[in-house]
């Protein structure tokens, strides 16, 4: 059950300027099964019994075999997304490498512009609910673009005056900036991430990346695991 080769290098567009790309992957559903059977030096016993064992493992939380599969993604996302992403200890810090504004200057199109202005939820301090009016949205769009243009002009001015990139970036609206990262995670910890970030309660800017990972990569690369994940982790919520 090898990884579909068309997945390696595949890139999926996310948000207005973001994307996610599967750079590499190690393992498949059978690798998980064989890792479980190594305890008594067993091997594959055919698709039906192998799949049944995999389901048993996840249902009863015998989860270490799922750590035998790893994904490596290259991701371009705004900092408002990364702030939600790196809060997960499941994406271990030693497995994350990011673009640095100290080395590479930002461009004038490196800012995130939301497609809709969500309104603050009345009953949940950390969530949104619905959107503002069309008139307010148009005014906010204009204000945001003006803010970006002014901020970037000040950033460029600082650079032209010889200010170091690491300080010139203070003029930029940090949460809006797009960064490119490489992240590596095993299948078990990726499922924990997806369980939280596929939720309707998750912030939109992280939820769309979680959905892209799951629908475009995880489900195709690990069909048995994805089926078990939906049954025993997503539906259990």
Q: Which residues are catalytic?
A: 197
Residues 105 and 167: their CA atoms lie apart, in Å, by 11
Residues 17 and 85: their CA atoms lie apart, in Å, by 17
What is the number of other CB atoms lying within 10 angstroms of the CB of residue 179? 19
Residues 106 and 137: their CA atoms lie apart, in Å, by 26
Could you tell me which residues come within 8 angstroms of residue 21 by beta carbon, excluding any fewer than 6 positions away? 9, 10, 11, 12, 73, 74, 75
Give the full edge-to-edge strand order of the sheet including 18-26: 11-14, 18-26, 70-78, 178-186, 96-98
Nearest to 236 by CA among 77, 40, 60, 7: 60
Strands, DSSP E only, in the chain?
11-14, 18-26, 70-78, 96-98, 118-120, 128-131, 178-186
């Amino acid at each position: 059950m090898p990884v579909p080769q068309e997945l390696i290098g595949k890139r999926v567009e996310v948000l207005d300027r973001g994307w996610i790309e599967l750079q590499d992957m190690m393992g498949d559903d059978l690798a998980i099964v064989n890792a479980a059977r190594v305890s008594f030096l067993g091997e594959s016993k055919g698709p039906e019994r192998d799949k049944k064992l995999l389901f048993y493992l996840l249902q009863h939380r015998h989860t270490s075999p799922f750590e035998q599969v790893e994904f490596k993604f290259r991701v371009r996302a705004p900092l408002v997304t990364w702030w939600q992403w790196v809060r997960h200890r499941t994406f271990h810090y030693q497995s994350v490498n990011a673009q640095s504004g100290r080395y590479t200057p930002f461009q004038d199109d490196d800012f995130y512009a939301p497609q809709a202005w969500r309104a603050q939820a009345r009953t949940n301090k950390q969530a949104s609910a619905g959107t503002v009016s069309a008139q307010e949205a148009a005014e906010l769009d204009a204000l945001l673009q003006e803010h970006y243009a002014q901020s970037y002009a000040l950033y460029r001015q600082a650079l032209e005056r010889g200010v170091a990139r690491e300080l010139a970036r203070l003029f930029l609206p940090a949460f809006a900036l797009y960064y490119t990262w490489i992240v590596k995670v095993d299948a078990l910890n990726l499922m924990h991430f997806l369980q939280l970030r596929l939720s309707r309660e998750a912030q939109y800017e992280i939820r769309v990346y979680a959905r892209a990972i799951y629908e475009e990569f995880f489900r195709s690369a690990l069909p048995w695991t994805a089926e078990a994940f939906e049954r025993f982790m997503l539906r259990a919520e």
